[in-house]
Structure 1
Amino acid sequence: LYDKRNKSVKGFSGGMKQRVGIAQALIGNPKLIIVDEPTAGLDPGERNRFYNLLADVGKDVIVILSTHIVDDVRELCTKMAIMNLGEIVYHGSPQSAIDELSSKVFQKIVGRDELQNYASDYKIISNKMVGGQPLIHVFSEDHPQNGFEQVRPNLEDVFFSKINTSNVLV
Protein backbone atom coordinates (compact mmCIF):
# COMPACT_ATOMS: atom_id res chain seq x y z
CA LEU A 1 0.00 0.00 0.00
CA TYR A 2 2.98 2.32 0.43
CA ASP A 3 3.02 3.42 -3.20
CA LYS A 4 -0.69 4.35 -2.88
CA ARG A 5 -0.25 6.45 0.28
CA ASN A 6 -1.19 9.73 -1.43
CA LYS A 7 -4.27 8.39 -3.21
CA SER A 8 -7.90 8.56 -2.08
CA VAL A 9 -9.26 5.22 -0.82
CA LYS A 10 -12.61 5.78 -2.54
CA GLY A 11 -10.90 5.34 -5.92
CA PHE A 12 -9.33 2.00 -4.95
CA SER A 13 -10.43 -1.34 -6.36
CA GLY A 14 -12.32 -3.75 -4.10
CA GLY A 15 -9.14 -5.70 -3.41
CA MET A 16 -7.20 -2.57 -2.51
CA LYS A 17 -9.98 -1.51 -0.14
CA GLN A 18 -9.85 -4.94 1.48
CA ARG A 19 -6.07 -4.58 1.97
CA VAL A 20 -6.58 -1.15 3.54
CA GLY A 21 -9.13 -2.70 5.88
CA ILE A 22 -6.66 -5.41 6.93
CA ALA A 23 -3.95 -2.79 7.44
CA GLN A 24 -6.33 -0.81 9.67
CA ALA A 25 -7.21 -3.95 11.59
CA LEU A 26 -3.53 -4.69 12.20
CA ILE A 27 -2.88 -1.30 13.83
CA GLY A 28 -2.17 -1.99 17.49
CA ASN A 29 -0.99 -5.59 16.90
CA PRO A 30 -4.25 -7.44 17.63
CA LYS A 31 -4.24 -11.11 18.55
CA LEU A 32 -7.53 -11.72 16.71
CA ILE A 33 -9.07 -10.41 13.48
CA ILE A 34 -12.59 -11.28 12.33
CA VAL A 35 -13.29 -10.86 8.61
CA ASP A 36 -16.75 -11.17 7.10
CA GLU A 37 -17.00 -12.18 3.43
CA PRO A 38 -13.51 -10.82 2.71
CA THR A 39 -13.37 -11.88 -0.94
CA ALA A 40 -16.94 -11.12 -2.01
CA GLY A 41 -16.87 -9.07 -5.18
CA LEU A 42 -13.17 -9.56 -5.88
CA ASP A 43 -11.95 -10.71 -9.28
CA PRO A 44 -9.86 -13.92 -9.34
CA GLY A 45 -6.51 -12.05 -9.30
CA GLU A 46 -7.51 -9.87 -6.35
CA ARG A 47 -8.95 -12.91 -4.58
CA ASN A 48 -5.60 -14.74 -4.89
CA ARG A 49 -3.68 -11.69 -3.64
CA PHE A 50 -6.07 -11.42 -0.71
CA TYR A 51 -5.67 -15.14 0.09
CA ASN A 52 -1.91 -14.60 0.23
CA LEU A 53 -2.32 -11.54 2.45
CA LEU A 54 -4.64 -13.32 4.90
CA ALA A 55 -2.34 -16.37 4.96
CA ASP A 56 0.58 -14.11 5.87
CA VAL A 57 -1.44 -12.29 8.53
CA GLY A 58 -2.61 -15.67 9.89
CA LYS A 59 0.96 -16.63 10.79
CA ASP A 60 0.96 -14.13 13.67
CA VAL A 61 -2.72 -13.39 14.31
CA ILE A 62 -5.78 -15.59 14.74
CA VAL A 63 -8.06 -14.87 11.79
CA ILE A 64 -11.73 -15.82 12.02
CA LEU A 65 -13.29 -15.96 8.60
CA SER A 66 -17.07 -15.74 8.21
CA THR A 67 -18.04 -16.68 4.68
CA HIS A 68 -20.33 -18.69 2.48
CA ILE A 69 -17.67 -18.84 -0.25
CA VAL A 70 -16.42 -22.41 -0.08
CA ASP A 71 -13.19 -21.63 -1.96
CA ASP A 72 -12.24 -19.16 0.78
CA VAL A 73 -12.49 -21.90 3.39
CA ARG A 74 -10.57 -24.40 1.28
CA GLU A 75 -7.78 -21.92 0.52
CA LEU A 76 -7.38 -20.28 3.91
CA CYS A 77 -8.59 -22.39 6.80
CA THR A 78 -6.86 -25.05 8.85
CA LYS A 79 -9.95 -25.37 11.07
CA MET A 80 -13.57 -24.69 10.24
CA ALA A 81 -17.03 -24.85 11.71
CA ILE A 82 -20.35 -25.13 9.91
CA MET A 83 -23.35 -23.51 11.55
CA ASN A 84 -26.97 -24.30 10.77
CA LEU A 85 -29.83 -22.49 12.46
CA GLY A 86 -27.48 -21.18 15.16
CA GLU A 87 -25.93 -24.56 15.99
CA ILE A 88 -22.47 -25.81 15.11
CA VAL A 89 -23.05 -29.00 13.12
CA TYR A 90 -19.39 -29.63 12.25
CA HIS A 91 -16.02 -28.48 13.47
CA GLY A 92 -12.63 -29.77 12.39
CA SER A 93 -10.29 -29.43 9.47
CA PRO A 94 -11.64 -28.97 5.95
CA GLN A 95 -9.68 -32.01 4.75
CA SER A 96 -11.04 -34.22 7.56
CA ALA A 97 -14.57 -33.22 6.60
CA ILE A 98 -13.89 -34.12 2.98
CA ASP A 99 -12.27 -37.41 4.00
CA GLU A 100 -15.42 -38.36 5.95
CA LEU A 101 -17.34 -38.35 2.66
CA SER A 102 -14.70 -40.23 0.66
CA SER A 103 -16.27 -42.90 -1.58
CA LYS A 104 -19.77 -41.84 -0.49
CA VAL A 105 -20.68 -39.10 -2.98
CA PHE A 106 -22.16 -39.88 -6.39
CA GLN A 107 -23.54 -37.67 -9.12
CA LYS A 108 -25.91 -37.87 -12.04
CA ILE A 109 -27.63 -35.48 -14.41
CA VAL A 110 -31.38 -36.05 -14.24
CA GLY A 111 -34.41 -34.57 -15.92
CA ARG A 112 -36.19 -31.77 -14.11
CA ASP A 113 -39.36 -33.84 -14.03
CA GLU A 114 -37.42 -36.73 -12.40
CA LEU A 115 -35.98 -34.71 -9.54
CA GLN A 116 -38.80 -35.43 -7.09
CA ASN A 117 -38.53 -39.18 -7.72
CA TYR A 118 -34.78 -39.12 -7.11
CA ALA A 119 -35.33 -37.13 -3.93
CA SER A 120 -37.61 -39.84 -2.57
CA ASP A 121 -35.22 -42.67 -3.55
CA TYR A 122 -31.82 -41.15 -2.67
CA LYS A 123 -30.28 -38.81 -0.11
CA ILE A 124 -29.67 -35.80 -2.37
CA ILE A 125 -27.14 -33.51 -0.74
CA SER A 126 -27.13 -30.93 -3.51
CA ASN A 127 -28.38 -30.15 -6.96
CA LYS A 128 -27.41 -27.46 -9.40
CA MET A 129 -28.24 -26.70 -12.97
CA VAL A 130 -25.69 -27.80 -15.59
CA GLY A 131 -26.63 -27.20 -19.19
CA GLY A 132 -30.25 -26.67 -18.18
CA GLN A 133 -30.52 -29.99 -16.31
CA PRO A 134 -30.18 -30.74 -12.60
CA LEU A 135 -26.88 -32.32 -11.59
CA ILE A 136 -27.53 -34.07 -8.31
CA HIS A 137 -25.00 -35.20 -5.74
CA VAL A 138 -26.19 -38.00 -3.49
CA PHE A 139 -24.74 -39.47 -0.32
CA SER A 140 -24.68 -43.25 -0.18
CA GLU A 141 -22.63 -45.82 1.72
CA ASP A 142 -22.84 -48.09 -1.35
CA HIS A 143 -22.71 -47.29 -5.06
CA PRO A 144 -26.32 -46.49 -6.01
CA GLN A 145 -25.84 -47.80 -9.60
CA ASN A 146 -28.64 -46.51 -11.87
CA GLY A 147 -26.19 -44.38 -13.91
CA PHE A 148 -24.56 -42.61 -10.96
CA GLU A 149 -20.83 -41.99 -11.02
CA GLN A 150 -18.68 -41.71 -7.94
CA VAL A 151 -17.05 -38.30 -7.49
CA ARG A 152 -14.40 -36.90 -5.21
CA PRO A 153 -16.25 -34.96 -2.50
CA ASN A 154 -15.57 -31.28 -2.00
CA LEU A 155 -16.39 -28.75 0.70
CA GLU A 156 -19.69 -27.89 -0.95
CA ASP A 157 -20.70 -31.55 -0.53
CA VAL A 158 -19.58 -31.37 3.11
CA PHE A 159 -21.61 -28.22 3.70
CA PHE A 160 -24.79 -29.59 2.17
CA SER A 161 -24.45 -32.98 3.85
CA LYS A 162 -23.97 -31.36 7.27
CA ILE A 163 -26.91 -28.98 7.04
CA ASN A 164 -29.09 -31.65 5.41
CA THR A 165 -30.87 -29.44 2.91
CA SER A 166 -32.00 -32.22 0.59
CA ASN A 167 -35.67 -31.54 1.21
CA VAL A 168 -35.17 -27.83 0.45
CA LEU A 169 -33.36 -28.40 -2.84
CA VAL A 170 -36.13 -30.20 -4.67
Structure 2
Amino acid sequence: MKLVIENVSKKFKDKWAVQHFSAELSEGVYALLGPNGSGKTTLMRMLADILKPTSGRILLNGRDISFMGDDYRDVLGYLPQEFGLYKNFTAVRFLLYFACLKGLNKTDSIKKVAEVLELVNLKNDQKRKIGTFSGGMKRRLGIAQALLNDPKVLIVDEPTAGLDPQERVRFRNLISEIAGDRIVILSTHIVSDIEYIAKEILLMRQGELLKRSTAPALLEQVHGKVWKAKVTQEKLATIQREFKVGNIQRNETGIEIRIVHDLKPLENAEEVAPTLEDVYLYFFDMEVTASV
Protein backbone atom coordinates (compact mmCIF):
# COMPACT_ATOMS: atom_id res chain seq x y z
CA MET A 1 0.00 0.00 0.00
CA LYS A 2 1.24 3.48 -0.83
CA LEU A 3 0.02 6.88 0.29
CA VAL A 4 1.64 9.59 -1.81
CA ILE A 5 1.58 13.25 -0.80
CA GLU A 6 2.40 15.09 -4.00
CA ASN A 7 3.52 18.73 -3.69
CA VAL A 8 0.61 19.61 -1.39
CA SER A 9 0.00 23.19 -0.24
CA LYS A 10 -2.81 24.80 1.75
CA LYS A 11 -3.52 28.52 2.02
CA PHE A 12 -5.92 30.25 4.41
CA LYS A 13 -6.61 33.79 3.20
CA ASP A 14 -3.10 35.29 2.95
CA LYS A 15 -1.27 32.64 5.02
CA TRP A 16 0.25 29.40 3.79
CA ALA A 17 -0.27 26.71 6.44
CA VAL A 18 1.39 23.97 4.36
CA GLN A 19 3.74 24.53 1.43
CA HIS A 20 4.98 22.10 -1.23
CA PHE A 21 4.86 19.03 1.03
CA SER A 22 5.80 15.76 -0.68
CA ALA A 23 6.28 12.29 0.79
CA GLU A 24 5.61 8.64 -0.04
CA LEU A 25 4.44 6.39 2.81
CA SER A 26 3.95 2.64 3.16
CA GLU A 27 3.00 0.39 6.10
CA GLY A 28 4.42 1.45 9.48
CA VAL A 29 4.38 4.40 11.88
CA TYR A 30 5.32 7.84 10.59
CA ALA A 31 5.68 10.73 13.01
CA LEU A 32 5.13 14.36 12.08
CA LEU A 33 7.32 16.26 14.51
CA GLY A 34 7.28 20.01 14.83
CA PRO A 35 6.34 22.92 17.06
CA ASN A 36 2.79 24.16 17.43
CA GLY A 37 1.84 26.13 14.34
CA SER A 38 4.11 24.18 12.01
CA GLY A 39 1.21 22.91 9.87
CA LYS A 40 0.90 19.36 11.22
CA THR A 41 -2.83 19.48 11.91
CA THR A 42 -3.62 21.13 8.57
CA LEU A 43 -1.67 18.43 6.74
CA MET A 44 -3.43 15.68 8.67
CA ARG A 45 -6.85 17.16 7.96
CA MET A 46 -5.96 17.08 4.26
CA LEU A 47 -4.82 13.47 4.60
CA ALA A 48 -8.17 12.70 6.23
CA ASP A 49 -9.93 14.43 3.28
CA ILE A 50 -11.53 16.99 5.60
CA LEU A 51 -9.67 19.86 3.97
CA LYS A 52 -8.94 20.11 0.25
CA PRO A 53 -5.42 21.17 -0.79
CA THR A 54 -5.03 24.54 -2.44
CA SER A 55 -2.63 22.79 -4.79
CA GLY A 56 -1.12 19.35 -5.13
CA ARG A 57 -2.84 16.04 -4.48
CA ILE A 58 -2.86 13.00 -2.21
CA LEU A 59 -2.94 9.52 -3.77
CA LEU A 60 -3.76 6.14 -2.23
CA ASN A 61 -2.46 3.34 -4.44
CA GLY A 62 -2.49 5.74 -7.37
CA ARG A 63 -6.02 7.13 -6.80
CA ASP A 64 -6.66 10.74 -5.81
CA ILE A 65 -8.42 10.60 -2.44
CA SER A 66 -10.46 13.69 -3.34
CA PHE A 67 -12.39 11.55 -5.85
CA MET A 68 -12.50 8.27 -3.92
CA GLY A 69 -15.43 9.18 -1.63
CA ASP A 70 -16.61 6.20 0.43
CA ASP A 71 -13.83 4.03 -0.98
CA TYR A 72 -11.34 6.17 0.95
CA ARG A 73 -13.45 6.55 4.08
CA ASP A 74 -13.82 2.76 4.20
CA VAL A 75 -10.06 2.38 4.71
CA LEU A 76 -9.52 5.50 6.83
CA GLY A 77 -9.38 5.87 10.62
CA TYR A 78 -9.01 9.35 12.08
CA LEU A 79 -8.60 10.66 15.62
CA PRO A 80 -8.37 14.46 15.73
CA GLN A 81 -6.72 16.29 18.60
CA GLU A 82 -10.11 17.52 19.81
CA PHE A 83 -12.50 14.61 19.78
CA GLY A 84 -16.14 15.02 20.81
CA LEU A 85 -17.56 12.47 23.28
CA TYR A 86 -21.04 11.91 24.66
CA LYS A 87 -20.45 11.92 28.40
CA ASN A 88 -23.71 10.16 29.26
CA PHE A 89 -23.05 7.30 26.81
CA THR A 90 -21.36 4.15 27.98
CA ALA A 91 -18.25 3.15 26.04
CA VAL A 92 -20.01 0.25 24.33
CA ARG A 93 -23.03 2.36 23.36
CA PHE A 94 -20.75 5.08 21.98
CA LEU A 95 -18.84 2.59 19.82
CA LEU A 96 -22.02 0.90 18.57
CA TYR A 97 -23.28 4.34 17.56
CA PHE A 98 -20.08 5.06 15.62
CA ALA A 99 -20.14 1.61 14.04
CA CYS A 100 -23.59 2.47 12.68
CA LEU A 101 -22.29 5.78 11.31
CA LYS A 102 -19.47 3.89 9.59
CA GLY A 103 -21.99 1.60 7.88
CA LEU A 104 -21.39 -1.64 9.78
CA ASN A 105 -24.41 -3.93 10.14
CA LYS A 106 -25.66 -4.91 13.60
CA THR A 107 -23.97 -8.32 13.74
CA ASP A 108 -20.60 -7.00 12.55
CA SER A 109 -20.90 -3.97 14.85
CA ILE A 110 -21.32 -6.06 17.99
CA LYS A 111 -18.38 -8.27 17.06
CA LYS A 112 -16.09 -5.39 16.07
CA VAL A 113 -16.93 -3.28 19.14
CA ALA A 114 -15.99 -6.21 21.38
CA GLU A 115 -12.70 -6.61 19.49
CA VAL A 116 -11.63 -2.97 19.74
CA LEU A 117 -12.63 -2.69 23.41
CA GLU A 118 -10.35 -5.64 24.10
CA LEU A 119 -7.57 -4.14 22.00
CA VAL A 120 -7.58 -0.79 23.80
CA ASN A 121 -7.99 -2.40 27.23
CA LEU A 122 -11.44 -0.99 27.94
CA LYS A 123 -13.40 -4.24 28.05
CA ASN A 124 -13.86 -4.07 31.83
CA ASP A 125 -15.05 -0.45 31.57
CA GLN A 126 -17.37 -0.81 28.59
CA LYS A 127 -20.54 -0.17 30.62
CA ARG A 128 -19.18 2.86 32.45
CA LYS A 129 -20.28 6.30 31.34
CA ILE A 130 -17.65 8.17 29.36
CA GLY A 131 -17.95 11.17 31.68
CA THR A 132 -16.21 9.12 34.39
CA PHE A 133 -13.23 8.21 32.17
CA SER A 134 -9.70 9.57 32.63
CA GLY A 135 -8.02 11.48 29.81
CA GLY A 136 -6.09 8.40 28.78
CA MET A 137 -9.20 6.24 28.69
CA LYS A 138 -10.93 8.80 26.47
CA ARG A 139 -7.99 8.79 24.05
CA ARG A 140 -8.07 4.98 23.97
CA LEU A 141 -11.80 5.14 23.26
CA GLY A 142 -11.02 7.56 20.45
CA ILE A 143 -8.55 5.10 18.96
CA ALA A 144 -11.17 2.35 19.34
CA GLN A 145 -13.67 4.30 17.21
CA ALA A 146 -10.98 4.96 14.61
CA LEU A 147 -10.31 1.21 14.37
CA LEU A 148 -13.94 0.08 13.99
CA ASN A 149 -13.70 -0.20 10.21
CA ASP A 150 -10.28 -1.91 10.36
CA PRO A 151 -8.60 1.02 8.56
CA LYS A 152 -5.52 0.64 6.44
CA VAL A 153 -4.68 4.34 6.93
CA LEU A 154 -4.81 5.56 10.53
CA ILE A 155 -4.29 9.26 11.26
CA VAL A 156 -3.85 10.40 14.87
CA ASP A 157 -3.32 14.07 15.77
CA GLU A 158 -1.43 14.85 19.02
CA PRO A 159 -2.50 11.55 20.58
CA THR A 160 -0.90 11.98 24.01
CA ALA A 161 -1.60 15.66 24.67
CA GLY A 162 -2.66 16.07 28.29
CA LEU A 163 -2.06 12.45 29.30
CA ASP A 164 -0.11 11.36 32.35
CA PRO A 165 3.16 9.40 31.82
CA GLN A 166 1.62 5.96 32.39
CA GLU A 167 -1.21 6.59 29.93
CA ARG A 168 1.24 7.93 27.37
CA VAL A 169 3.37 4.80 27.55
CA ARG A 170 0.26 2.63 27.20
CA PHE A 171 -0.90 4.67 24.22
CA ARG A 172 2.47 4.40 22.46
CA ASN A 173 2.49 0.63 22.95
CA LEU A 174 -1.01 0.40 21.49
CA ILE A 175 -0.03 2.37 18.38
CA SER A 176 3.03 0.18 17.90
CA GLU A 177 0.95 -2.98 18.29
CA ILE A 178 -1.62 -2.09 15.63
CA ALA A 179 0.79 -0.64 13.06
CA GLY A 180 1.95 -3.86 11.41
CA ASP A 181 -0.24 -3.82 8.31
CA ARG A 182 -1.34 -0.19 8.41
CA ILE A 183 -0.01 3.21 7.49
CA VAL A 184 -0.10 5.06 10.80
CA ILE A 185 0.54 8.80 10.78
CA LEU A 186 0.73 10.63 14.08
CA SER A 187 1.63 14.20 14.84
CA THR A 188 3.29 15.43 17.99
CA HIS A 189 5.59 18.04 19.46
CA ILE A 190 6.60 15.63 22.26
CA VAL A 191 9.72 13.85 21.08
CA SER A 192 9.62 10.90 23.47
CA ASP A 193 6.25 9.86 22.02
CA ILE A 194 7.85 8.67 18.79
CA GLU A 195 11.47 7.85 19.61
CA TYR A 196 11.00 4.07 19.70
CA ILE A 197 7.92 3.45 17.56
CA ALA A 198 8.36 5.61 14.45
CA LYS A 199 9.56 4.00 11.25
CA GLU A 200 10.49 7.47 10.06
CA ILE A 201 10.25 10.99 11.44
CA LEU A 202 9.14 13.89 9.26
CA LEU A 203 10.24 17.24 10.66
CA MET A 204 7.89 20.13 9.82
CA ARG A 205 8.64 23.81 10.19
CA GLN A 206 6.46 26.69 8.98
CA GLY A 207 4.38 24.38 6.81
CA GLU A 208 7.31 22.78 5.01
CA LEU A 209 8.93 19.36 5.21
CA LEU A 210 12.28 20.23 6.73
CA LYS A 211 13.74 16.75 6.91
CA ARG A 212 12.68 13.10 6.72
CA SER A 213 14.75 10.39 8.32
CA THR A 214 14.93 7.58 10.85
CA ALA A 215 15.59 8.34 14.50
CA PRO A 216 19.15 6.89 14.42
CA ALA A 217 20.01 8.92 11.31
CA LEU A 218 18.71 12.13 12.91
CA LEU A 219 20.75 11.43 16.02
CA GLU A 220 23.83 10.95 13.87
CA GLN A 221 23.28 14.39 12.31
CA VAL A 222 23.67 16.09 15.69
CA HIS A 223 26.51 13.86 16.86
CA GLY A 224 29.32 16.04 18.15
CA LYS A 225 26.97 19.00 18.64
CA VAL A 226 25.66 18.30 22.15
CA TRP A 227 27.56 19.42 25.25
CA LYS A 228 27.24 19.57 29.00
CA ALA A 229 28.94 22.08 31.26
CA LYS A 230 28.81 23.46 34.79
CA VAL A 231 28.14 27.17 35.08
CA THR A 232 27.49 29.74 37.76
CA GLN A 233 24.17 31.43 38.35
CA GLU A 234 25.69 34.73 37.28
CA LYS A 235 26.62 33.39 33.81
CA LEU A 236 23.49 31.32 33.17
CA ALA A 237 21.34 34.10 31.69
CA THR A 238 24.09 35.16 29.28
CA ILE A 239 24.67 31.58 28.14
CA GLN A 240 20.96 31.09 27.54
CA ARG A 241 20.92 34.13 25.28
CA GLU A 242 23.94 32.95 23.28
CA PHE A 243 23.25 29.20 22.97
CA LYS A 244 20.45 26.65 22.67
CA VAL A 245 20.17 25.33 26.21
CA GLY A 246 18.10 22.15 26.52
CA ASN A 247 18.34 21.22 30.18
CA ILE A 248 19.26 23.05 33.35
CA GLN A 249 19.93 20.91 36.41
CA ARG A 250 20.70 22.37 39.80
CA ASN A 251 22.42 20.29 42.45
CA GLU A 252 24.66 20.70 45.47
CA THR A 253 27.75 21.22 43.28
CA GLY A 254 26.23 23.96 41.12
CA ILE A 255 24.31 24.24 37.85
CA GLU A 256 24.80 21.76 35.00
CA ILE A 257 23.44 22.68 31.58
CA ARG A 258 23.04 20.88 28.27
CA ILE A 259 23.87 22.91 25.16
CA VAL A 260 23.25 22.13 21.49
CA HIS A 261 25.81 23.91 19.33
CA ASP A 262 27.94 23.12 16.28
CA LEU A 263 31.17 24.02 18.10
CA LYS A 264 32.37 23.61 21.68
CA PRO A 265 30.46 26.43 23.40
CA LEU A 266 32.43 26.80 26.64
CA GLU A 267 35.95 26.01 27.76
CA ASN A 268 34.78 23.42 30.29
CA ALA A 269 32.09 21.86 28.05
CA GLU A 270 32.15 18.09 27.47
CA GLU A 271 30.63 16.33 24.48
CA VAL A 272 27.71 13.98 25.29
CA ALA A 273 25.56 11.56 23.28
CA PRO A 274 22.57 13.25 21.61
CA THR A 275 18.90 12.42 22.15
CA LEU A 276 15.87 13.22 20.02
CA GLU A 277 15.21 16.14 22.34
CA ASP A 278 18.55 17.55 21.20
CA VAL A 279 17.55 16.94 17.57
CA TYR A 280 14.35 18.91 18.17
CA LEU A 281 16.26 21.77 19.75
CA TYR A 282 18.86 21.78 16.97
CA PHE A 283 16.35 22.02 14.13
CA PHE A 284 13.59 24.07 15.75
CA ASP A 285 15.48 26.40 18.07
CA MET A 286 12.90 26.43 20.85
CA GLU A 287 12.09 24.85 24.16
CA VAL A 288 11.80 21.09 24.20
CA THR A 289 8.70 19.30 25.45
CA ALA A 290 10.29 16.24 26.97
CA SER A 291 7.92 14.28 29.16
CA VAL A 292 8.32 10.53 29.70
Scaled to the shorter chain, the TM-score interval is 0.7 to 0.9
TM-score, structure 1 normalization? 0.81
Paired amino acid for 2:257: L
Contact 2:203 2:210 in 1 (8 A): yes
Hey, what's the Cα distance between the residues in 1 that align with 2:280 and 2:225? Answer: 14
Hey, what's the Cα distance between the residues in 2 that align with 1:46 and 1:117? Answer: 38
Match of residue 11, structure 1, among 110, 117, 132: 132
- Which structure is larger by alpha-carbon Rg, 1 or 2? 2
Hey, what's the Cα distance between the residues in 1 that align with 2:240 and 2:126? Answer: 56
Partner of 2:12: none
Paired amino acid for 2:277: E
Match of residue 125, structure 1, among 230, 234, 244: 244
Partner of 2:78: none
Contact 1:33 1:64 in 2 (8 A): yes
Partner of 1:83: 204
Counterpart check, 1:137 vs 2:259: yes
TM-superposed CA distance for 1:130, in Å, is 2.7
TM-superposed CA distance for 1:24, in Å, is 0.2
Paired amino acid for 2:223: S
TM-superposed CA distance for 1:40, in Å, is 2.1
Counterpart check, 1:44 vs 2:141: no
Partner of 1:148: 269
Secondary structure in 2 matching 1:16: helix
Partner of 2:231: 110
Hey, what's the Cα distance between the residues in 1 that align with 2:257 and 2:161? Answer: 25
1:54-65 correspondence runs (5 A): 54-65=175-186
Structure 1: state its 5+ residue gaps: none
C-alpha RMSD of the superposition: 2.6
Hey, what's the Cα distance between the residues in 1 that align with 2:265 and 2:165? Answer: 37
Counterpart check, 1:162 vs 2:271: no
TM-superposed CA distance for 1:119, in Å, is 6.5
Hey, what's the Cα distance between the residues in 1 that align with 2:246 and 2:256? Answer: 6
TM-superposed CA distance for 1:136, in Å, is 4.2
Structure 2: state its 5+ residue gaps: 1-121, 288-292
When the two structures are aligned, how many residues end up with a matched partner? Answer: 163
Partner of 1:30: 151
TM-superposed CA distance for 1:96, in Å, is 0.8
Alpha-carbon displacement from aligned partner over 1:16-63 (angstroms, at most 9, x marks no partner): 111111110011121212212211222222222111111111112211
Paired amino acid for 2:217: S
Structure number with the higher helix fraction is 1
